[in-house]
Structure 1
Amino acid sequence: MMLKDKKVIIFDMDGTLIDSVGIWNQVDEALIQRIREDGKSEIKNVQRKRDEVLRKNDQADNPYIEYCTYLKKTYQSTLSVQDIHALRYEIAQDYLHHVVDYKEGAELFIKSLKKLGYQLVIASTTKRTNMDVYRKHNHRIISKANIDDYFTLVYTREDAKAIKPNPEIYLRVMKDLKVSRKDCLVFEDSLIGVEAAKNAGIECVVIEDQYSDAEREQINQLADYQIKSYLELLDKNGKLIEKI
């Protein structure tokens, strides 16, 4: 029973609570087409390459600056790294405001957890400015389950020196709430996210996201529980199934 004796339920954001990983792939594909000067048109394995660079630079001051450095070198761009970084988020704004939405059943699940008295936390590597869009401007998210109404704490990339798979963000959650590993349960979608939870010694539920399928076997071996949808955890009335 995944929720037995748990007090704090911690969620990753991108790909876990919201359908956004594919959108970031679209953003990066559009970015590459804008900056590239290598004379080519083919784009392969955007997400895998991004994850590899972020993993390698998880303790850098800004891992995404390192990612943009990689893009500049790989695609022979004459733009500065800072300009590439700024352009990435300029391209992303329309997606973040108008396209990103909760994963199926996610809002029902967090509402049910909140009613039962669980403390809910978001621990994400997304930028605070992106999270602010989800909290204040994305009406798909706001109308279904306003983040500030349901989550006790919201952590973003700026709240930890090292990003996932480093466990720092999860260790901070436990320290701030004065709870133990046994009190917590993490929901993640990616290999680096599951690794971060397990590196912190916390049980982890992985929710399937198609953009992590290339690492599915590793993810499922490492996670304590696997689900395809939050609806698996709810009855037909949107309430938590007792057996979980």
Structure 2
Amino acid sequence: MENFKAVIFDLDGTLIDSMGVWAKIDEEYLSSFGHVVPENLQEEITHLTLSETANYFKLKFNIKDEVSAIIAKWHEMALSHYSNNIKLKDSVVDFLNLLKEKNIKIALATSNSIPLLEATLKNNNIYHYFDAITTTEEVNKSKDNPDIYLLSAKKLNVQPKDCLVFEDIVQAVKGAKKAGMTVYAIYDKSSESQKDELTKLADKYILGFNELL
């Protein structure tokens, strides 16, 4: 860790075990319109911004609601889970404490929304660890682009080369690498099928944060 001045974390699938919740929300939401979840849905949407995902649903499934209404419904469905049920991955707090001890800045870079990320960070008592929080909505680009990572570094006043990024999906690893940052991929059940590609693309692949303690 001494090689880095800042660490930038993804949220869903990286710091928290939440992907199962979103799979359930997708299923419930689409079933309300008489649709079943396509097998490749997660691969299609996982790196998109929230607005891009809502627009994808609108076009793909011919949903009449406006993008803003779709997002509002998802928030309604997800807020209780993020406020009460979603837990941290193993050793997250220990690793955050290690970074603080070494005076390494900490940022969050996520495709999720401010209300949901704040709900789960506060419920899990880690909100205060973050020196900066950036969402894809701020840059209007998905995570396969470098923009969210570059903005995170700018907020921290740290050069991209001095940043370490943690991500759990291929598209986001590619985006962070485009930003000129070191990228560690972390295992998540939802992206298990990408393990081989993640291992090739990332600077390191880990099963959990305990490996770095």
- TM-score w.r.t. the length of structure 1 is 0.79
Partner residue of 2:142 out of 144, 147, 163: 163
Whole-angstrom distance in 2 between the partners of 1:43 and 1:203: 33
1:147 and 2:132 are equivalent in the alignment: no
> Secondary structure of the residue that 1:110 maps to in structure 2?
helix
- The question of whether the paired residues in 2 share the 8 Å contact of 1:72 and 1:81 is answered with no
- The question of whether the paired residues in 2 share the 8 Å contact of 1:19 and 1:100 is answered with yes
* Pairing 1:150-229 to 2, within 5 Å after superposition: 150-229=129-208
| Cα offset, 1:43, TM superposition | 4.9
1:65 and 2:51 are equivalent in the alignment: no
> Secondary structure of the residue that 1:165 maps to in structure 2?
coil
Whole-angstrom distance in 2 between the partners of 1:129 and 1:80: 21
Once the two structures are superposed, what CA deviation does each residue of 1:32-67 show, in whole Å capped at 9, x if it has no partner? 11122x6xx565333123238x3xxx6xx9213312
- The question of whether the paired residues in 2 share the 8 Å contact of 1:25 and 1:46 is answered with no
Counterpart in the other structure of 2:105: 119
| Cα offset, 1:112, TM superposition | 1.3
Once the two structures are superposed, what CA deviation does each residue of 1:73-105 show, in whole Å capped at 9, x if it has no partner? 2xxx5x424443332222212211121111111
Which segments of 5 or more consecutive residues in structure 2 lack a partner in the other structure?
none
> Secondary structure of the residue that 2:46 maps to in structure 1?
helix
- The question of whether the paired residues in 1 share the 8 Å contact of 2:7 and 2:107 is answered with yes
Once the two structures are superposed, what CA deviation does each residue of 1:143-175 show, in whole Å capped at 9, x if it has no partner? xxx212x11111123321212011101111222
| Cα offset, 1:134, TM superposition | 2.0
Whole-angstrom distance in 1 between the partners of 2:28 and 2:37: 12
Rg (Cα) greater in structure: 1
AA at the equivalent of 2:184: V
Whole-angstrom distance in 2 between the partners of 1:29 and 1:42: 6
- TM-score w.r.t. the length of structure 2 is 0.90
AA at the equivalent of 2:95: F
Cα gap change, 1:90/1:111 in structure 2, threshold over 3 Å: closer, same or farther? same
* Pairing 1:29-178 to 2, within 5 Å after superposition: 29-36=27-34, 43-51=38-46, 54=48, 62-73=51-62, 77=63, 79-82=64-67, 83-136=69-122, 138=123, 141-142=124-125, 146-148=126-128, 150-178=129-157
Which segments of 5 or more consecutive residues in structure 1 lack a partner in the other structure?
235-244
AA at the equivalent of 1:22: G
Counterpart in the other structure of 1:242: none
Identical amino acids, percent of aligned pairs: 31
Once the two structures are superposed, what CA deviation does each residue of 1:118-149 show, in whole Å capped at 9, x if it has no partner? 1111111111121221244x2xx12xxx212x
